[in-house]
Structure 1
């Protein structure tokens, strides 16, 4: 698949989802970058801000096998991964797959489940496989987790462990819509005379895999690559962080910058592509020093400060790929 096709299909996907999720094009595009990067996406925001709707909409427009798990305090790991049940007719144990055996898994309110259940996702998110009863089962590609999370200051939530947070390719939020966007949402509801929005499929699973493979055509020059390394290193050296971004953060930034270039139809990434995805790619990987919490300093602020401080490669230092 050519990158021009990736660009055109990406626009069609975002346009179609915008029919359901009004006024949040930038956030929708970030989620799409996560899908193109074959990575997991964490949607963090307050209730009622279209997190679940966004996940369902992506499943509809990509025709991927979709499953949803509502995370609750009493959810068990086997409810997610599956379990073996005794089959009396065959006199043997039979494995019943859990919801995780899907292409697109919506982990709704993931921080309402206890850590043991959250950890059940770890192997699947990183290795694309599930091990139960000593048997390892591969998950069909693509396997993408779209997890929603309410802010941790909400009562009855459990903060995600750092190991699991690091496995999300990006984290983003939607925020409240503008007054015009909210009125447009109401207008559309009045026009269609029903709650649900019927979205048309734009691509299927095989086409999405082709789009993911096409991202590999995007060139990263050494100067842009070293810029990524310097940004990530700066998060580790920041006086505000107890723990900076890991090398997995560097890989995430590389992957998302290439996806950003691909959806623009370019076969090379620029420093602006890196800057555009730096906050969603890195902020959730940082652990701030405890004394900064009382100052309401957010990890996103630290990443923005790093972007301001690290020198951007000059245009002449970013050569285009050889023809």
Structure 2
């Protein structure tokens, strides 16, 4: 497993810079909303540096290692099988009009010394043998550096960006399928004005929802990283196990949406752990009750009904109601959805 040297410091490295004519040392924490580097200096204060070339690693001969080295001792890096590699290769060789392929972008990011992985539904579906659709990528490369690369590869008008979510979508402006969804690693408070991003998988995976959606695949080295320790097994066995850390600052509605995603996966035939059901009942029902009505309706439609044929909508709604009732969440259905079926279908 290899990663080229990086021309900029990596989050977590000790760095040196000069500010106000004075030499400063500190830890490079991550990236802010405006793509600035956040550095905790030797006095414990946070400094913001906008020019990446003003900052260097303190020890350029001993650089920050890649994420997989954190997990090798615990056995959470696993080589993908030959059929799995072939399945990923078939997906990643798809061209994104009007530019090159997914794999071309992955190669360019990796070749510059930054980690880039597939994560989420693509990885889960390949592991459990289902057809993978969307391609979600996560990278440690700062968007200040990746945007010029994207513009040169796919055109300067063929992407949209959400800075607070550390997210870029690359697609032809007249065609949105296929597309590239690319995120920075979550570090702190994604989705808020305090959002920061970095390269720590131990933080990133805990802001995701389920273990089966928190497996990272490196298409260059052809192996998985499974930070929760159960994501690959859960993907194969179709198990829902919640890994989200509710103490991480994040919009309440994003935390609460895990409840509907729980039932979305149940509708697909996934089973759940007792621990996760207890979390839904104890933590997520109160969070969900704090959502506004319009957000509850729109989230239901997005999570459970979107991309399904119209003739299946009634069955999905009834299946969701049954699963909520069986899991002790009948009050959610009766209070927030039972009288709004027409609104859900609109």
Give the TM-score, by structure 2 length.
Answer: 0.26
Higher RCO structure, 1 or 2 (CA under 8 Å, sep 6+): 1
Give the TM-score, by structure 1 length.
Answer: 0.27
